[in-house]
Amino acid sequence: MMTNTTPRLQVRHLSTTFHTDEGAVHSVADVSFDILPGRTTALVGESGSGKSVTSLTLMRLLPRTARTTVAGSALFVDRSGQTVDLLSLPERQMRGVRGNQIAMIFQEPMTSLNPVFTIGEQIAESVRLHRGASHAEALARARQMLDLVEIPAAGQRLHEYPHQLSGGMRQRVMIALAMACDPTLLIADEPTTALDVTIQAQILELMRKLQREMGTSILFITHNLGVVAHHADEVAVMYAGRIVEVAKVRELFAAPRHPYTQGLLACLPGKQPPHRGTGPRRLYAIRGQVSSPLAPPPGCAFAPRCDKALTRCDQAMPELLADGAGRQTRCVLTEATQEAA
For residues 315-326, one letter each, b for 16 or more C-beta atoms within 10 angstroms of the residue's C-beta and e for the rest, the string is: eebbebeeeeee
Cα separation, 339 vs 109, whole angstroms: 49
Computed over every residue of the chain, the mean pLDDT equals: 88
What does the pLDDT read at residue 4?
67
**Cα 326 to Cα 251: distance, rounded to the nearest angstrom:** 10
Domain ranges of the chain: 1-101+184-271+285-290, 109-180
pLDDT (tens digit, 9 = 90+) per residue, 219-255? 999 988 888 988 899 999 999 999 999 999 999 999 9
Sign of CA dihedral 137, 139, 145, 151: negative
**Which tens digits make up the pLDDT trace of 169-218?**
898 898 889 888 989 999 999 887 767 788 788 888 888 888 888 889 99
Q: Which of 218, 182, 174 has its CA nearest to residue 8?
A: 218
Q: For residues 150 and 102, which has the higher predicted lDDT (pLDDT)?
A: 102
What is the length of the chain? 341
Report yes or no: 100 and 182 within 8 Å, Cβ to Cβ. no
In this prediction, residue 2 carries a pLDDT of: 54
80, pLDDT greater than 50: yes
pLDDT of 123 reads 94
Label residue 282 by pLDDT band (50, 70, 90): confident
pLDDT digits (tens, 9 = 90+) for 91-133: 999 999 999 999 998 877 777 899 999 999 999 999 999 989 9
Rounded Cα distance between 264 and 63, Å, is 31
Angstrom distances, CA of residue 165 to CA of 86, 138, 190, 201, 320: 34, 21, 20, 18, 45
Please say whether the beta carbons of 285 and 266 come within 8 A: no
Average pLDDT, stretch 72-93? 94
Task: Tell me the CATH number for domain 1-101+184-271+285-290.
Answer: 3.40.50.300
Q: How far is CA 137 from CA 31, 64, 114, 118, 161, in A?
A: 41, 34, 21, 16, 20
Q: Are 31 and 88 in contact (CB under 8 A)?
A: no
Torsion of CA 281, 284, 285, 286, to 10 degrees: 150
Task: With cut-offs at 50, 70 and 90, classify the pLDDT of residue 168.
Answer: confident
Residue 226 contacts residue 57 (beta carbons within 8 Å): no
**Whether 242 contacts 30, CB under 8 Å:** yes
- What Rg, from alpha-carbon coordinates, does the chain have? 21
What sign does the CA torsion over 59, 161, 139, 209 have? positive
Q: Express each pLDDT in 256-278 by its tens digit.
A: 999 999 999 988 876 665 556 66
Strands 23-35 and 9-20: antiparallel
**Amino acid 341: pLDDT:** 47
User: Percentage of the chain with pLDDT > 90?
Assistant: 57
Question: Could you give the percent of the chain with pLDDT greater than 70?
Answer: 93
Per-residue pLDDT tens for 50-65? 999 999 999 999 998 8
